Every structure is written in C-alpha cells, then in structure tokens.
Structure 1
Amino acid sequence: MQIDPRLYQDFHPAPDNIFLLIEIADTTLETDRKRKAPAYAKAGITDYWILDVNTRQVYVFREPGEANYRQETVFNEDDVLSMLAFPEIEVQISQLFP
C-alpha cells in the first residue's frame, strides 16, 4: 500500500484513514485512558494503543462503541502484538521501549 504524504494537506484524516493511533504516556496515562479513549471510540478509531513508559506496558483498545471501547487489553514486555490493519506484522513490546 502506497500512501501519498500530501493526502492530508487540506484536511485531517477520517477514522477510516487511521490504521493505528498511539499515545505515549509518562504522566498522562489516566487522561489517555479515561478521556481520550472514549473520544476516540466515539470517533470510530478501531485500534488505539497507549505506551506506558513507566510500567513498560501497552494498553490496547479495540471494538469502539458509542461511549467507549468494548475491549481493553494490557500487554507486557514479553508479549507480541499486531495491528488490526496489518496482522501479519508482529511487534515485540520490549522493542517499543528504550
């Protein structure tokens, strides 16, 4: 898949254009989980990850609903994770953290 970098010069991407949304949380984990996750779910973002740099965990939110995500899973450093849009690409959680 080829993505034209000029595609979003005049407008923001719509949920159908977003394959994965990632937040990096140092001090914002609760805000990301309690405020942003519901907003992203309402917008229809299908795959939302929060990388918690303090615990070296990844919070994965999927199955957006009207009020929030129906699925929240926490992955640890030893786990492997794949994006919904590209399930053949595996990400070792430990490689996401320095």
Structure 2
Amino acid sequence: MRGPRAHQDVANLNIIDSLHCPLIHIHIHHVIAINYCAMLLHVWTCVHVYVFMFANYSIYWLLLLVVGDQFLLRLQLTLSHPQQLVYGVWNMDDGMGML
C-alpha cells in the first residue's frame, strides 16, 4: 500500500506499539501458573471461610487468606486483560470498578 493512507497505518501501528510496557514480559506458562494458584487459593479461602463460621478459627489467618485471594484474583484478571495495564481502567462488567 502506498500514499498517505499507508503512512497513517504505520503511524497507528507505532502508537499501538508504544502503548505496550516493555518492563512487563510475562510468558504464557507464568500466566497458567498464576491462574492455577489463584484458583487453588480461592477454593482454599472459601473452605476456610466456611470452617470459620462453625469453628473457633484465627481471624488473622482468615484475613490473610482473603487478602491474598483478592490479590491473586486481581493479578489473574490483569494477566487476562493486559491492555488494562496501559489504560489503568477495569471493565465495569468485571465487577472490579476503577483502579
């Protein structure tokens, strides 16, 4: 393709390339491992919340589990939607709101 349209397409590609953060270099096996850990921690947290309702359980351990669970779930969401790292805004339908 030649002419002004070709130059505009190249300029658009340069803008898109500049949006990617060069410091974030994540391989797919890292994403799979984090997703797996997030799923396991979420199940583990749900079980502990259920046990806490019926047993004398340490509230500090439970809070640590919930905070870690939420951190991994948000990390999982970020890795699933890497464009959110650039724009800093979560999709409202994800239930997370704004960063």
TM class, shorter-chain normalised?
A: under 0.3
Report the structure, 1 or 2, having the larger strand content: 1
Structure with greater Cα Rg: 2
TM-score (norm 1): 0.23
TM-score (norm 2): 0.22
Report the structure, 1 or 2, having the larger helix content: 2
